[in-house]
């Protein structure tokens, strides 16, 4: 687990999301910082095999997305920490998907711009 990334969101992590609107706003700001710091890192080049199923991380991604849709940013922090604990965050399959979710909900950039950011844009013919 990347301790620096963890420390950015840990103070704001609360599954109940019951610490008030001001703390929820602070959690959102922490998520923006988390996203910026995560984008500075490179995904792992070597696949890390775990005991769990390869796509189990999607279960966590659904919880993160649901919390974003409900605008429960403290819960988002909690769910990302859970993801970091159980899954290798820097694996490309997790890293890129998490960044896309963060970009979409925090910066309103959507999938089209996220693809452009990663150099994956499709050229029109």
Structural domain contains residue 28: yes
**Residue 96 domain-assigned?**
yes
Could you tell me if residue 54 is inside a domain?
A: yes
Asked, for residue 11, whether it belongs to a domain, the answer is yes
Whether residue 20 is contained in a domain is answered as yes
Residue 94 placed within a domain: yes
* Residue 67 domain flag: yes
Among residues of the chain, what percentage have pLDDT more than 70?
83
Q: What angle do CA 104, 61, 34 make, to 5 degrees?
A: 55
Query: In the structure, what pLDDT confidence band is assigned to residue 36 with cuts at 50, 70 and 90?
Result: very high
**Residue-level pLDDT at 107:** 86
Give the distance from CA 69 to its chain's centroid. Answer: 14
Q: How many domains does the chain have?
A: 1
Residue 67 and residue 75 in contact, taking contact as beta carbons nearer than 8 Å? yes
Domain hosting 107: range is 3-117
pLDDT of residue 51: 65
């Amino acid at each position: 687990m990347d301790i620096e990334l963890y420390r950015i969101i840990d103070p704001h992590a609360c599954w109940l999301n019951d610490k008030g609107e001001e703390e929820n706003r602070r959690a959102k700001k922490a998520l923006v910082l988390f996203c910026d710091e995560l984008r500075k890192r490179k995904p792992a080049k070597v696949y890390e095999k775990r005991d769990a199923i390869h796509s189990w991380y999607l279960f966590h991604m659904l919880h993160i997305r649901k919390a974003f849709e409900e605008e429960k940013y403290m819960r988002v922090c909690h769910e990302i920490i859970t993801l970091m604990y159980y899954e290798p965050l820097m694996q490309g399959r997790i890293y890129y998907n998490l960044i896309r979710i963060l970009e979409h909900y925090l910066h309103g950039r959507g999938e089209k711009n996220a693809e452009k950011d990663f150099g994956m844009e499709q050229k029109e013919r």
